[in-house]
Structure 1
Amino acid sequence: MIDQQLINRINELARKKKTVGLTELERKEQQKLYKIYLGAIRGQVKQQLSNIRFVEDQQ
């Protein structure tokens, strides 16, 4: 599940990576958080796609 705390931590690690770099432990945490985030996004997209219904044009 995506919550603001998850997003804030991802952003914090991304900023640190750009400035001073990450420790090995932080790199592993970042990978884990990205996996959680991307999994949630993919789930949301699949849910949206499963709700799409095609209707034939009646012309």
Structure 2
Amino acid sequence: MMKEEKIKRINELWKKQKKDGLTEQEKKEQKKLREEYIKDVKQKVKTQIENQKNISSSGNK
């Protein structure tokens, strides 16, 4: 699970990008954080789907 501080940083960089633009280093940081966030979301979705399959196959709700 992605830490709240990293999510806040993603939002800070987004706001700065819209207002002032980002340095190359900030762009790299933003890309890395976004990739990490997307990976985390994909893992959560995968886990939820697997849990649904397990519930369905066992006949329980």
- TM over 0.5, yes or no? yes
Could you tell me the percent identity over the aligned residues? 44
By relative contact order (CA 8 Å, sep 6+), the higher-ranking structure is 1
CA RMSD between the two structures: 1.1
Instruction: State TM-score, norm by structure 2.
Output: 0.84
Gaps of 5+ in 1: none
* Rounded Cα–Cα distance in structure 1 between residues aligned with 2:44 and 2:14: 23
Q: Letter of the aligned partner of 2:17 in structure 1?
A: K
Structure 2 residue 34 is matched with structure 1 residue 34: yes
Structure 2 residue 48 is matched with structure 1 residue 48: yes
Structure number with bigger Rg: 1
Aligned length: 55
Residue equivalent to 2:16: 16
Higher helix share: 2
Q: Once the two structures are superposed, what CA deviation does each residue of 1:32-53 show, in whole Å capped at 9, x if it has no partner?
A: 0001100000000000001113
